Structure 1
Amino acid sequence: MTTAANVIYILTILLYSISVLGYFIDFIQNNRKVNRIAFWLLSIVWVLQTLFFVIRAIAFDRVPVITPFEGLFLFAWLVVTLSLVLNFFFRIDFLILFTNIIGFIMLAFSLFVPSGDVPEELTNLLVSELLIIHITFVLLSYAGFTLAFAFSSMYAIQNRMLKQKAWSSRLTRFGSLPRLEKLAFASTVLAYPFLLLGVILGFVWAYIQLPVLPWFDAKVLGSLLILIVYGIYMYERAVRNRRGYSLALLNLAGFLLVLINYFLSDELTEFHFWY
């Protein structure tokens, strides 16, 4: 990375950590002033992330989504973007905290991943429009599932607080249970097609570029399992009309699979050795 990009990257992580800490303090202490400061810091983080992407795209003369470092950074950028947009439209106080805990973890992991360009011997194999679309769609789906995770987590916590009769001002800031459940379902429905298309495009790319389709690759199987679990979740809610705590737990289980699949060891996957 260039010196300017490196400074922006470090500053982004620093401000992001302070912002998430601010939202956590607001969650614990119900401090609206800290919440406003955290919001503006997060807005600055979004600007810095966007600037970093532009600089990196110019430096490497390609869309910066190919390497593991770029994937983690894009994941975090998508989470920040979606959380700010949804907060603007729905005004759910704790949404930004729950989504950006995941976003910050992703950005923090990028510290431990090489930030250089794709190795020269892999450039011709990896850099293609189809692969870029495949990766972008998968990461868009993961960002959408992150939102569903946030809404389902908020639902589960509020449900538990109500059962324990833990009345407080914090309880009202979660939003109603039906609304959280509806938004979790909507986020899942919007994210699901992106993952489905991403997997299909991945197979198309593999058919073109590789001698054998990687049917039994660990990450391919993991992605199919994620599609099955979220498919069951959507079926249970839309067709069988199920509602409640158990359905929220199923959504959370789906996101746990997303995280496991994303960070699956390279030793278990040959097809996704670069990602």
Structure 2
Amino acid sequence: MITQDWLTDAVLYIYALSLLFFVSDAASGNRSARKVGTGLLVFVWVVQTIFLLFLLLERFSSAALTLRDYLFFVSWLLVSASFILNRLLRAELLVLLVNVVGFAVLALNLIGLKKQNLELEPWEVARRLLIVHVSLITLAFAVLTITALLGVMYLILHRGLKAKKWTHVMSRMPSLEWLDRFAYRAGLIGIPLLLLSLSTGTVALLIKDSPAQLLDERVVLSFAAGILYVFYIIRRIVSRDDGAKLAMWNLLGYALLVVGFFASSVSSFHRWI
């Protein structure tokens, strides 16, 4: 056993098995494998949803959030998003990539981490703002992960076409125009969520009368990511950059967001301990 818990192990094994079936579909167009993989993923999603409901009941009235809770919710959002993408867009490779990230997040959560608390400040006035802040940043992180994956796919396909090296994997990808369009649309959802989360967090700090904490490394990196994302949207609207440059702006914003998220060793508050 990996985690010393049979149900947790079962979820991980079934999730991994579903990914193998999705890989088989993406590599060879095996529709039967895709159906089996989807069925297994539905089971994983149901179990995650049950866990999440118990988690919400337990944490709803608490001012504390664990890193495990956060990552578990991100993983659940990514699995849920993969169903929507699979249903609406029929983009098999994107669905596979989203689920690979979701599995990595879940595995990191269940295997590699001890219970680590993100202790939110106890002041009652700002507590509800912090709950809203965490909820929004979680949703934003999930949506922007999908945006980043679309950007990665765009760069891979663009490089392959430019080098005139066509592969079977590339044949499973949507067109460059499709990838650019849906990365932009996902960004129009994720970026406002990110900015709203930053604004609620800022207000919470001001209510606490702690404006100096706005200079914390994690806060600065998060705001820098938000600025890059806004720049990406502006450049996309005015069409000043080609698709490859836009994809790079997209990925730079996501990289800053990820670095800020894991910058616990230098952060003076909201630290994973």
Q: TM-score normalized by structure 2?
A: 0.86
The one-letter code sitting in structure 2 at the alignment partner of 1:102 is: V
Shift of the alpha carbon at 1:154?
A: 1.5
2:94 is aligned with 1:114: no
Deviations 1:69-119 (A, max 9, x none): 100101111111112112211111111111122222211221333347777
Distance in 2 separating the partners of 1:261 and 1:18: 32
Paired residue for 1:272?
270
Select between 159-168 and 186-195 the one with higher mean Cα deviation: 159-168
Kindly report which structure 2 residues correspond to 1:78-227, keeping only aligned pairs within 5 A, or say none.
78-111=77-110, 112-115=112-115, 124-125=122-123, 128-209=127-208, 211-227=210-226
Paired residue for 1:3?
none
Distance in 2 separating the partners of 1:64 and 1:77: 22
Report if aligned partners of 1:56, 1:64 keep a CA contact under 8 Å in 2: no
Report if aligned partners of 1:203, 1:213 keep a CA contact under 8 Å in 2: no
Distance in 1 separating the partners of 2:9 and 2:204: 35
Distance in 2 separating the partners of 1:248 and 1:162: 16
Deviations 1:218-275 (A, max 9, x none): 11001111011111111111023433222212212222222212211x2200122248
Shift of the alpha carbon at 1:8?
A: 4.3
Deviations 1:131-182 (A, max 9, x none): 1110010011111111111211221222223233334554332111101110
Shift of the alpha carbon at 1:129?
A: 2.4
Q: Secondary structure at the match of 1:66?
A: strand
Distance in 2 separating the partners of 1:213 and 1:103: 35
Distance 1:22-1:213 versus aligned 2 partners, 3 A rule: farther
Report if aligned partners of 1:30, 1:170 keep a CA contact under 8 Å in 2: no
Kindly report which structure 2 residues correspond to 1:47-66, keeping only aligned pairs within 5 A, or say none.
47-60=46-59, 62=61, 66=65
Question: Which ranges in structure 1 are unaligned for 5 or more consecutive residues?
Answer: 1-5
Distance in 1 separating the partners of 2:83 and 2:45: 9
The one-letter code sitting in structure 2 at the alignment partner of 1:245 is: A
Q: Secondary structure at the match of 2:239?
A: coil
Distance 1:135-1:109 versus aligned 2 partners, 3 A rule: same
Report if aligned partners of 2:216, 2:268 keep a CA contact under 8 Å in 1: yes
Distance 1:80-1:38 versus aligned 2 partners, 3 A rule: same
How many residue pairs get aligned? The number is 267
Q: Secondary structure at the match of 2:213?
A: coil
Distance in 1 separating the partners of 2:9 and 2:202: 36
Q: TM-score normalized by structure 1?
A: 0.86
The one-letter code sitting in structure 2 at the alignment partner of 1:215 is: L
Report if aligned partners of 2:63, 2:127 keep a CA contact under 8 Å in 1: no
Q: CA RMSD in A?
A: 2.7
The one-letter code sitting in structure 2 at the alignment partner of 1:198 is: S
Distance 1:253-1:211 versus aligned 2 partners, 3 A rule: closer
